[in-house]
Structure 1
């Protein structure tokens, strides 16, 4: 039975299995984990219905965006939750998070072109009484992030990990761009990375066998990967923080690569701005976070400054809206073509993008 506040052993094993291959057949997962197909399917449906676990199919940044930006928005007291909820409804945002203190929001935004990037930052994001300031950090290089796995589960043996790892597909050539049919399939996979071939075929009116071959090709050429997004607090990683780190430019690569080796790190990237490394870490407790900062981070000699910002709530992950108990009006700067707001907040909406 799935507990309400913490994952049991089978939940943890299922989550780690889907990190290895988000589209692995339930029969293969069941065989490796030593349970029935029906048990795995039932567990996944239950976790998915509760927004704890979801697989999304997403292309890498180079295919969907000209640039990524990490935004830090500072709000007047009492406004952050409503602003964060509005930002989460935008299709160009991922990882909308509330920071401790109650006045700061973090989010990742994507632009499809250089011109769109300028318009995105200059015209489309909120300015006004509720938002005091916005700082935009361009992501220059990612040292660790999706499709890398979130470490720390340790629920599978090395042999089980290898049995679940997808076999390398033959690379049949680089794809320069996605055709309209690919985009329609991507839209389906962004909502449900485990969507069946029948649903994917219906989106493009291709045969299921043709769709299957195309998906294999997109995956083999690196245009598509399957990302298992999950509530890390559910697996016991309850102390999450964003670190804003400064190092001399000559030490940026070495420090970024060193941070990427830390099992606590779920994201690490070089950025523009007053700091030049943005890192997110996940620890089991505040005591473990303190130990990480004072032992592992402190051991990196090039670091001259660290700002630690604890994350208190996710409002949106890769593509999943998470209900934080608010009903809101139109998304910030993003009415639809008919002048109406999007669906009520709390219903999942997905963006075809991935953090890192």
Structure 2
């Protein structure tokens, strides 16, 4: 739980540069980050502490591309009866398998994203959770087939090229190895705070500091683990989220999905199982920007048809963090409850052994 902060908490240009640097190098030392930003390391650390303590920015971890084949993500639009929104949202917020929950415009006001082992587990969620949840009137679920861009790749772009060039390059390529229970414990600690020191990681997992360093670096270098730095959207300069359900002819789907994923506004680009076969989520500077984005991508990709669109009113849950209406973190979910894709929770591990 973070400490309370006034809604008008101020982020200045130096803070934005620091966040951008941490998006590029989430676990960079304060010496490296300070040198890149022309800041004293102690000043950089102090600024970051203020941002995290007020819930305005944070570093966490996600499962990397090397393990994406081990889980299934579904995007589910949920319609609710009048007067039932709060109770349905409160229940879905607590769902361990749901890293995201959005309140959006349109006839289906809740967009819940689940990450589970396989399509059969999606079926179980629909039957055991949504079918039995009072207030849910209908839902429509689609499974992600290919991910092209994800929020961990989105950049604030506050740094000039010179300062960006002072930061270390990204992690290397994937190669196979077996993830064990110690690696899973590291996942959970880094979920709470992606900048947890190697000393604290070692203490939390019962291994040496050198082993913790080696294991974390191996997970990052092989893309089994990906770090990400997030921030409250309200202070990002991109306060509006647009959600577009798009149809693209199969012959050009890969090309269009990749091209959209490379645009600065795009936080998410992934193909889906339905007739709207591409989902695009964008951060925009104004509401008018959604119309402009649609115009530009329509001109660039004439075969693209926007099937449906909505504006996100409130991202209620993001990567197992509860956010307030400004996008600040107000609660971090207990990682021992979370069923990380490809990383069983302690309860699941016990069940697999029994």
Aligned residue pairs, count: 330
Q: Offset of 1:37 from its aligned partner?
A: 1.9
Partner of 1:333: none
Partner of 2:3: none
Partner of 2:263: 262
Q: Is 2:23 the counterpart of 1:19? A: yes
- Higher mean alpha-carbon deviation, 257-266 vs 108-117, is at 108-117
- Higher mean alpha-carbon deviation, 194-203 vs 308-317, is at 194-203
The unaligned stretches of length 5 or more in structure 2 are 1-5, 342-354
Distance 1:238 1:192 in 2: 24
Q: Offset of 1:212 from its aligned partner?
A: 0.6
Q: Is 2:42 the counterpart of 1:38? A: yes
Q: Offset of 1:128 from its aligned partner?
A: 4.4
Partner of 2:321: 320
- C-alpha contact 1:80 1:102 (8 A) present in aligned 2: no
Distance 1:90 1:268 in 2: 24
Secondary structure of the residue that 1:305 maps to in structure 2?
Answer: strand
Partner of 1:106: 111
User: C-alpha root-mean-square deviation of aligned residues, in Å?
Assistant: 2.6
Cα distance change on mapping 1:165 and 1:296 into 2, 3 Å? farther
Q: Offset of 1:274 from its aligned partner?
A: 3.1
- C-alpha contact 1:93 1:107 (8 A) present in aligned 2: yes
Q: Which runs of 4+ in 1 moved over 4 A?
A: 350-354
Q: Is 2:94 the counterpart of 1:83? A: no
Distance 2:31 2:144 in 1: 39
Distance 2:56 2:125 in 1: 30
- C-alpha contact 1:137 1:273 (8 A) present in aligned 2: yes
Secondary structure of the residue that 1:245 maps to in structure 2?
Answer: strand
User: Cα deviations across residues 276-330 of structure 1 (Å, max 9, x unaligned)?
Assistant: 00000111001222211122334311113331100011111112112469xxxxx
Distance 2:113 2:339 in 1: 13
- C-alpha contact 2:144 2:271 (8 A) present in aligned 1: yes
Partner of 1:130: 135
Partner of 1:233: 234
Distance 2:76 2:58 in 1: 25
Distance 1:299 1:114 in 2: 34
Cα distance change on mapping 1:3 and 1:159 into 2, 3 Å? farther
Q: Offset of 1:168 from its aligned partner?
A: 4.7
- C-alpha contact 2:248 2:303 (8 A) present in aligned 1: yes
Q: Offset of 1:194 from its aligned partner?
A: 0.8
Distance 1:130 1:188 in 2: 36
Distance 1:117 1:282 in 2: 28
User: Cα deviations across residues 81-136 of structure 1 (Å, max 9, x unaligned)?
Assistant: 43223222222112211002585111211112454343233323354441111111
